Amino acid sequence: MREDRQRLDKWLWYARFARTRGACARLVSDGRVRLNGNRVTQPSKGIVEGDIVTVAAEHATVVARVRDLGKRRGSAREAAALYEQLGP
């Protein structure tokens, strides 16, 4: 994958939308994630900074703008820096 892109499931894991990367991949493959308003079912879909990601997780629905792709799964503070939550 190009350097300015990252796999969607990997980014969701870095941003702590689920505990495991496998769970993030299942969120995507189950159709619970939208990228720029379009439903995505391929965990390998590439995302870039500025994309809008909507995640309908078990605990909440989150709409977020990707601010950074991240390099690793870090603390909650590092994860929160990867996106800007839109809406309430």
Is 69:51 a contact under the CB 8 Å cutoff? no
Residue 1 in any domain: the answer is: no
Please check the confidence at residue 88 and state whether its pLDDT lies above 80: no
Q: Is residue 13 part of a domain?
A: yes
Q: Please state the domain count of the chain.
A: 1
**Contacts for 79 with CB less than 8 Å, ≥ 6 apart:** 14, 15, 16, 70, 73
What is the pTM (predicted TM-score) of this model?
0.94
pLDDT in tens, 2-59: 889 999 999 999 999 999 999 999 999 999 999 999 999 999 999 999 999 999 988 8
pLDDT tens sequence across 49-73 = 999 999 998 888 999 999 999 999 9
Task: Say yes or no to pLDDT of 1 above 80.
Answer: no
Boundaries of domain holding 12: 6-86
Neighbouring C-beta atoms of residue 67, cutoff 10 Å: 14
